Amino acid sequence: MKASYSKHILDFNEPSGTSRGILRQKETWFLILKENERWGIGECGLLKGLSCDDRPDYEEKLKWVCDHIHLGKDVLYKEMRAFPSIQMGIETTFISLTSEDPFKLFPSKFTESEDTLPINGLMWMGDQSFMMDQFEQKLASGFKCIKMKVGAIDFKKELAVLKLIRQRFSKNEISLRVDANGAFTPKEALSKLEDLAALEIHSIEQPIKSGQWEAMATLCENTPLPIALDEELIGVFDLEQKKHLLDSIKPQLIILKPSFIGGFKGSQEWINLAQRQNIGWWITSALESNVGLNAISQWTYTLNTNGPQGLGTGSLFTNNVDSPLEVKNGFIGYNNAKIWSKIK
């Protein structure tokens, strides 16, 4: 068995704004295995400035994995404990290698083009006109659940956009999710959540910065709308620590990004803990290319999830890998009439 890796820089169609700044490019890595006539591919979806494994020795670790590929999936996964995106790449590459089709990791009605997954449409930050244009585009594309990034511009302007949407559509017609990416301070957060609740917002992701467990617990206890933990889960590797986090904060929801939390195995640990505590959850991609998005979408389908997932990021890039993944009317599917482009 031989292993290799390559870096791929994804270019955004247009600069995309979050409370952490403007995104123009996204670095990602492909891990490739070859054994006799078979081959497999996985994506190590690193996100600079957010992934806990955004470290200077990242490429060195990828090389180590390739040099020690003979150790097998389980040993390598364990060794890469501090590098969740590499764990994700290891998991998917080995599954891909042993699959009949390297791109069909979890055969199902989804991969046979017989079923789809509902997803939310994503609106990036910008001025009111830009955001309303995005909303109209999502509406025209058939999305019934829309997620809007908040926290980077004037909050009153962001509320104004949400008010315009809510004046036109009730919560039964359009479900609105917001993602603050930790932009609010603990002192101001509750007041802002009350403003959002008045607009019948479905939920808010990570209203305050991660690591403030006591403040987040207080917020979750008193919130007028469901709070979803996102960045809070990043860097929490130990099962007991995961349990302690959920016990301490008691969130209403958690958002699972496999590339950030140890792939499918790490995500499943969070799901098991959440279900025991009646905490809701959904799966979100983390700006991977279509290689990673494909693996996450197929795995998500096997979970029999309820509600829209966050898997609509494949169209954000000008140079993504061509794939059978297809978004139509607010659903993502796998169109077997399309083919994968060659991975360079």
What share of the chain in percent tops pLDDT 90? 84
| Mean pLDDT over each residue of the chain, to the nearest integer | 94
* Whether residues 57 and 127 fall in one domain: no
Q: What is the pLDDT of residue 128?
A: 82
| Strand-pair category, 331-334 with 117-118 | antiparallel
Q: What is the pLDDT of residue 136?
A: 93
Residue 295 lies in a domain: yes
Residue 343 lies in a domain: no
Q: What is the pLDDT of residue 246?
A: 98
Beta bridge partners of 183: 208
* Whether residues 131 and 276 fall in one domain: yes
From 34, 64, 97, the end of a domain falls on 97
Q: What is the dihedral of CA 186, 191, 192, 194, to 10 degrees?
A: 130
pLDDT 10s digits, 89-140: 999 999 999 999 999 999 999 999 999 999 999 887 778 888 899 899 999 9
Give the CATH number for residue 304: 3.20.20.120
* Whether residues 249 and 325 fall in one domain: yes
Query: What CA–CA distance (Å, rounded) separates 329 from 195?
Result: 30
* Whether residues 232 and 198 fall in one domain: yes
H helix runs in 202-328, sequence order: 213-222, 239-249, 263-276, 290-301
Q: How does residue 42 score in pLDDT terms, banded at 50, 70 and 90? A: very high
Q: What is the pLDDT of residue 241?
A: 97
3-state DSSP of 18-62: ECCEEEEEEEEEEEEEEECCEEEEEEECCCCCCCCCCCCCHHHHH
From 62, 97, 132, the end of a domain falls on 97
Residue 340 lies in a domain: no
* Whether residues 329 and 209 fall in one domain: yes
* Whether residues 36 and 136 fall in one domain: no
Dihedral pair phi/psi, residue 337, rounded to 5° = -75, -15
* CA 200-202-204 angle, 5° bins: 110
From 97, 131, 147, the end of a domain falls on 97
Residue 268 lies in a domain: yes
pLDDT 10s digits, 198-241: 999 999 999 999 999 999 999 999 999 999 999 999 999 999 99
Q: How does residue 20 score in pLDDT terms, banded at 50, 70 and 90? A: low
pLDDT 10s digits, 243-262: 999 999 999 999 999 999 99
Question: Quick one: how far is CA 174 from the chain centroid?
Answer: 21
- E-only strand ranges, the chain: 2-18, 21-35, 38-44, 117-118, 121-123, 145-149, 175-179, 203-205, 227-229, 253-256, 280-283, 325-328, 331-334
Q: What is the pLDDT of residue 316?
A: 85
Q: What is the pLDDT of residue 59?
A: 97
Q: What is the pLDDT of residue 262?
A: 96
Give the CATH number for residue 15: 3.30.390.10
Q: How does residue 17 score in pLDDT terms, banded at 50, 70 and 90? A: low
* Whether residues 140 and 289 fall in one domain: yes
pLDDT greater than 80 at residue 300: yes
Q: How does residue 83 score in pLDDT terms, banded at 50, 70 and 90? A: very high
Query: What CA–CA distance (Å, rounded) separates 166 from 146?
Result: 12
- The residue segments making up the domain with residue 150 are 117-334
Is residue 223 within 8 Å of 250, Cβ to Cβ? no
| 151 or 202, greater pLDDT | 202
- Number of domains making up the chain: 2
pLDDT greater than 80 at residue 14: no
Residue 141 lies in a domain: yes
Q: Is 305 helix (H, G, I), strand (E, B) or coil?
A: coil
Query: What CA–CA distance (Å, rounded) separates 283 from 307?
Result: 10
* Whether residues 234 and 290 fall in one domain: yes
Task: Give residue 114's identity as a one-letter amino acid code.
Answer: E
Residue 126 lies in a domain: yes
pLDDT greater than 90 at residue 290: yes
| 22 or 332, greater pLDDT | 332
Residue 207 lies in a domain: yes
Q: What is the pLDDT of residue 344?
A: 55
Q: What is the pLDDT of residue 22?
A: 74
Is residue 210 within 8 Å of 248, Cβ to Cβ? no
For range 28-34, the mean pLDDT:
97
Q: How does residue 21 score in pLDDT terms, banded at 50, 70 and 90? A: low
Residue 237 lies in a domain: yes
For the whole model, what pTM was predicted? Answer: 0.94
- Only one residue has tokens 């081959």, namely 39
Residue 148, token pair as written in the block? 């809007």
Residues with catalytic function:
149, 257
